């Protein structure tokens, strides 16, 4: 039996990304208006804009999702905890936090596990949820698998592929990233507990991209192409 999915079903899976460093307050306001128009899950924002965004989306179903230690995850654990706690107090209902990538690559799993645990505890104590960004472009499969196991152990709400800003130097000297690949999403769904949801971010730019990753078990996407994706869904009669 074919599944029926509506435009609103898709919209409710989108964290509308407002994270580019050049975004002005006016651009963030326009992004929030778009998020409200389509009734997406959240707006994913930089922490300084929480008060403004919270006011803009008040009395709606659109949540506020600040990012922590974004995009490189290099802050100390103590600073990450403080930043996460402050973001929730300011109005964040969902927190997207970048792991310490260097510690993951060093396979210092005690450090990585403790950091994820204390940040998750800090967030959930205030009745918000945590999404842990792996930045898969920098990692090997074994690192992704171990991160999924750690996040499952600590009952994190979501594991997330990428920040969208994890640019890797290529052989030709240019910097680019793949983001949410099918292989990595399949790996994450296989090794994360069933209760841990998957967020795909980076490279999900079309409706077909969206439907493909959804079929792989993704329940949330991070997207800046929200409008074009959902307008295409309308044109297809979803």
Parent domain of 109: 7-235
Q: What tens-digit pLDDT sequence spans the chain (238 residues)? A: 457 899 999 999 999 999 999 999 999 999 999 999 999 999 999 999 999 999 999 999 999 999 999 999 999 999 999 999 999 999 999 999 999 999 999 999 999 999 999 999 999 999 999 999 999 999 999 999 999 999 999 999 999 999 988 888 888 887 778 889 999 999 999 999 999 999 999 989 999 999 999 999 999 999 999 999 999 999 998 8
Residue 2 maps to a domain: no
Q: How many angstroms separate the CA atoms of 14 and 35, rounded?
A: 9
Q: How far is CA 28 from the centre of its chain?
A: 18
Task: Give Rg (Cα) of the chain.
Answer: 17
For residue 152, what pLDDT is reported?
98
Q: What is the dihedral of CA 15, 16, 18, 24, to 10 degrees?
A: -150
What per-residue confidence (pLDDT) applies to 1?
40
Which residues are tagged catalytic?
96, 160, 199
Please check whether residue 40 lies inside any domain of the structure. Answer: yes
Residue 1 domain-assigned? no
**Residue 183 sits in a domain of what CATH number?**
3.20.20.70
Question: Is the residue at 71 inside a domain?
Answer: yes
Distant-in-sequence, close-in-space partners of 86: CB < 8 Å, separation ≥ 6 = 47
Spatial distance between the Cα atoms of 196 and 189, rounded to a whole number of angstroms = 9
Predicted pLDDT of residue 144: 98
Instruction: Report the domain count for the chain.
Output: 1
Q: What is the pLDDT of residue 108?
A: 98
Tokens of 227: 């409008």
Q: Supply 110's token pair.
A: 């005690």
Residues 134, 73 contacting (CB under 8 angstroms): no
CA distance 96 to 102: 18
Cβ(97)–Cβ(132) below 8 Å: yes
Q: For 119, how many CA atoms within 13 A lie in the half-sphere containing its CB?
A: 36
Report in angstroms the alpha-carbon separations of 28 from 44, 49, 210, 221. Answer: 10, 8, 23, 19
């Amino acid at each position: 039996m074919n599944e029926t999915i509506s435009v609103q079903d898709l919209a409710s899976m989108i964290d509308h990304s407002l994270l580019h460093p050049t975004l002005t307050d006016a651009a963030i306001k326009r992004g929030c208006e778009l998020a409200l128009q389509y009734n997406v899950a959240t707006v994913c924002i930089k922490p300084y804009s929480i008060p403004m965004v919270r006011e803009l989306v008040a009395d709606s179903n659109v949540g506020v999702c600040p990012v922590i230690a974004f995009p490189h995850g290099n802050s100390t654990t103590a600073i990450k905890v403080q930043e996460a706690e402050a973001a929730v107090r300011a109005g964040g209902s969902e927190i997207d936090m970048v792991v310490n990538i260097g510690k993951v690559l060093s396979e210092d799993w005690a450090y990585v596990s403790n950091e994820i645990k204390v940040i998750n505890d800090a967030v959930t104590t205030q009745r918000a949820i945590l999404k842990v960004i792996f930045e898969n472009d920098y990692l090997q499969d074994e690192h992704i698998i171990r991160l999924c196991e750690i996040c499952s152990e600590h009952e994190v709400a979501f594991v997330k592929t990428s920040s969208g800003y994890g640019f890797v130097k290529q052989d030709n000297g240019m910097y680019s990233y793949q983001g949410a690949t099918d292989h990595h999403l399949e790996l994450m769904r296989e090794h994360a507990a069933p209760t841990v949801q998957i967020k795909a971010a980076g490279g999900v730019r079309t409706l077909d991209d969206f439907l493909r990753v959804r079929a792989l078990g993704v329940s949330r996407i991070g997207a800046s192409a929200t409008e074009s994706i959902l307008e295409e869904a309308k044109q297809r009669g979803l």
